[in-house]
Amino acid sequence: MVWLFDYDLTLYGEEERHVLVSLDRRISAYVQKTIGGTFEHASEIRTEYLHRYGTTLAGLMALHGTDPDDFFDFIHDAQYLVYPVPAPAKRDLLLSLKGPRGVFTNGRHDWSEAGMRSMGILDCMDFVFDLKALGWVGKPHDIAYEKMENFLKGRLGADFNASGIVLLEDSLRNLEPAHARGWITILVNPVENAPDWVDFHIPHLLDLDKIVNKLPC
């Protein structure tokens, strides 16, 4: 098994949504800096780009020629951000999982690494495969999953098997391409209803221990 975790609202949960809100405010501020207008209008554009292009950054790149690293350098200014609280129970859970563990994220690695460091789980991960490694084209685009598989093939060699990849995500939109590729899909979301094609649905990461024995070995 290879365990892939989304970061936002997956490794930390809905009860810490204020973490993501702090980042979203920085993204809106960058959109405002780019297109002008009010902060409220920029927030609307941020959401529009997210739904239309998969990430706000993708919309900014397509329509405004935004440099990705300039974008992330701006939004990851720590003085404006909130990070998750220490999570020793999550650390114990992650260390109990057999097989490589990694983060598969639409953010740049420094955001998830800072958050995992705050939680005390950074050293539980064998790798972070971020948007930069994806060539700035992230989930849910098919190429992102293909690049993830190629990365794992390079690490695992003959032991690689797509059916042994477990993806934990709060977003159904990002799980669907994984399902199409034969990955095991786990929706981590306390409010979203799971369609039949989702393999497992848990409200919180710490509920993973309730289904681990049900996953195919």
Domain boundary among 56, 80, 104: 80
pLDDT, one tens digit for every residue, the chain (217 residues) = 999 999 999 999 999 999 999 999 999 999 999 999 999 999 999 999 999 998 899 999 999 999 999 999 999 999 999 999 999 999 999 999 999 999 999 999 999 999 999 999 999 999 999 999 999 999 999 999 999 999 999 999 999 999 999 999 999 999 999 999 999 999 999 988 899 999 999 999 999 999 999 998 6
Pair of tokens at residue 111: 């955001």
Host domain of residue 158? 2-13+85-214
Domain boundary among 80, 99, 119: 80
**Is the same domain home to 38 and 76?**
yes
**Is the same domain home to 101 and 182?**
yes
Domains held by the chain: number: 2
Beta-bridge partner residues of 72: none
Neighbours of 39 (CB within 10 A): 12
**Is the same domain home to 61 and 143?**
no
Pair of tokens at residue 149: 């598989």
Instruction: Give this prediction's pTM.
Output: 0.94
- Judge contact between 27 and 8, C-beta under 8 A: no
